[in-house]
């Protein structure tokens, strides 16, 4: 399939570059085509989401939790992308038709909140429009745990493991990062 990567170069995350390199290697080894957005500025990201053509979206960036559940994903140049912006016929039709997976490796993006019309947040928005899967941490995670989790998760999926098994193995491997309990933050919605 095709993967769209959103990995800002100005995030200051120590392991983001290594995660990008891992994904490039993974794509080569497993015949995955990259339709990454480089640099991931908001206008380009929105254009890529509207254009469709992806089976998977992966982000390695900063995220923030908010009381309203808007939980912005911070793109290049500190531009915020919120779940409320993943709307419109082009984006929603593609997600509904292709049922892509979303891995947002950014702190707090698994959190949901209440809005005027009901539950809000990335998981709720993406699954409501038809995404096949959403993976993100519920709270802050360290760079080393994030990198370990992602590498293991993708390698396990490549072995044709079930999502639940890949998730369990990735959390267990991330747990091995000494003295860091943030491995517990990762959750899956599908």
Q: Would you state the pLDDT for residue 168?
A: 95
Q: Would you state the pLDDT for residue 190?
A: 85
Average pLDDT in the chain: 89
| Structure confidence at residue 121 as a pLDDT band (50, 70, 90) | confident
Q: Is 134 left (phi over 0), alpha (psi -120 to 50) or beta?
A: beta
Q: Would you say the pTM of this structure is higher than 0.85?
A: yes
- Name residue, tokens 């309990």: 181
Nearest CA to 146 among 117, 180, 116, 122? Answer: 180
Q: What is the mean pLDDT of residues 101-118?
A: 70
Lowest mean pLDDT among 110-114, 126-130, 174-178: 110-114
Distance (Å, whole) CA 118 – CA 103: 23
Give residue-wise pLDDT tens across range 44-102: 999 999 999 999 999 999 998 765 557 899 999 999 999 989 999 999 999 999 999 99
Q: Are 72 and 42 in contact, with CB atoms under 8 Å apart?
A: no
| Structure confidence at residue 120 as a pLDDT band (50, 70, 90) | low
Give residue-wise pLDDT tens across range 2-45: 999 999 999 998 889 899 999 999 999 999 998 889 999 999 99
- Over 60: is that where the pLDDT of 115 sits? no
Q: Would you state the pLDDT for residue 117?
A: 44
Q: State the sign of the Cα–Cα–Cα–Cα dihedral 113, 116, 119, 122.
A: negative
Distance (Å, whole) CA 35 – CA 33: 7
């Amino acid at each position: 399939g095709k993967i769209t990567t959103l990995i800002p170069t100005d995030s200051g995350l120590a392991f983001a570059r290594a995660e990008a390199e891992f994904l490039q290697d993974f794509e080569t080894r497993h015949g995955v085509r990259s339709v990454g957005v480089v640099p991931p500025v908001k206008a380009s990201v929105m254009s890529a989401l509207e254009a469709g053509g992806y089976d998977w979206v992966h982000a390695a960036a900063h995220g923030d939790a908010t009381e309203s559940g808007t939980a912005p994903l911070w793109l290049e140049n500190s531009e915020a992308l919120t779940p409320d912006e993943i709307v419109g016929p082009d984006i929603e039709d593609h997600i509904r038709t292709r049922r892509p997976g979303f891995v947002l490796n950014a702190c707090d993006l698994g959190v949901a909140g209440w809005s005027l019309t009901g539950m809000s947040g990335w998981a709720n928005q993406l699954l409501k429009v038809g995404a096949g899967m959403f993976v993100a941490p519920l709270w802050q995670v360290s760079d080393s745990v994030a990198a370990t989790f992602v590498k293991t998760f993708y390698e396990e999926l490549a072995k044709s493991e079930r999502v639940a098994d890949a998730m369990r193995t990735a959390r267990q491997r991330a747990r091995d990062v000494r003295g860091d309990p943030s491995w517990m933050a990762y959750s899956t919605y599908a």
